[in-house]
């Protein structure tokens, strides 16, 4: 989707159900069919996944459009980050600022996306009817 930054906006606008979108919708619904969900729960599961994917793509597209570069941004925030840490006013944030490795990785967005998607799917799996 990153190669088609217009897609999340177009998908959110609810375009007509043409042959291509019908095939995609069928594939999405087939992926959750047979899990013991009723029709409304199937639509909710599919929508949850789609919204997560579209939102993640829209966020990354916006970062790219703004010329956002995490490494440059982190470097520019250095002195301010140091003052936040020195203040001691936000202990949880400070711990994360000191311990987190993710923001410094070149593949930050990919890792965040994969981790978030795993959490979404785990949450959906936990909500499945038992038996």
Query: What are the average pLDDT values for consecutive 10-residue runs of the chain, which has 131 residues?
Result: 69 75 94 96 96 90 83 86 97 96 87 96 95 64
**Torsion angle of C-alpha atoms 115, 59, 51, 130, degrees rounded to 10:** 10
The count of other CB atoms within 10 Å of the CB of residue 56 is 18
Domain ranges for the chain: 1-68+107-131, 69-100
pLDDT of residue 1: 63
Residues 118 and 110 sit within 8 Å (Cβ to Cβ): no
- CA dist., res. 26 & res. 96, Å (int): 42
pLDDT of residue 89: 98
Helix (H, G, I), strand (E, B) or coil at 18: coil
Burial class (CB in 10 A: 0-12, 13-18, 19+), 29: middle
Predicted TM-score of the model (pTM)? 0.79
pLDDT of residue 14: 65
């Amino acid at each position: 989707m990153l190669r088609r930054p217009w897609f999340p906006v177009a998908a959110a606008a609810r375009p007509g159900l043409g042959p291509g979108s019908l095939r995609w919708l069928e594939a999405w619904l087939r992926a959750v069919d047979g899990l013991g969900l009723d029709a409304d729960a199937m639509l909710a599961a599919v929508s949850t996944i789609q919204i997560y994917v579209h939102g993640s793509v829209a966020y990354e597209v916006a970062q790219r459009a703004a010329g956002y570069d995490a490494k440059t941004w982190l470097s520019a925030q250095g002195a301010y980050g140091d003052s936040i840490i020195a203040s001691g006013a936000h202990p949880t944030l400070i711990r994360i600022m000191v311990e987190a490795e993710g923001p410094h990785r070149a593949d930050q967005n990919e890792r965040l996306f994969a981790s978030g998607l795993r959490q979404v799917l785990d949450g959906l799996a936990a909500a499945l009817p038992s038996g």
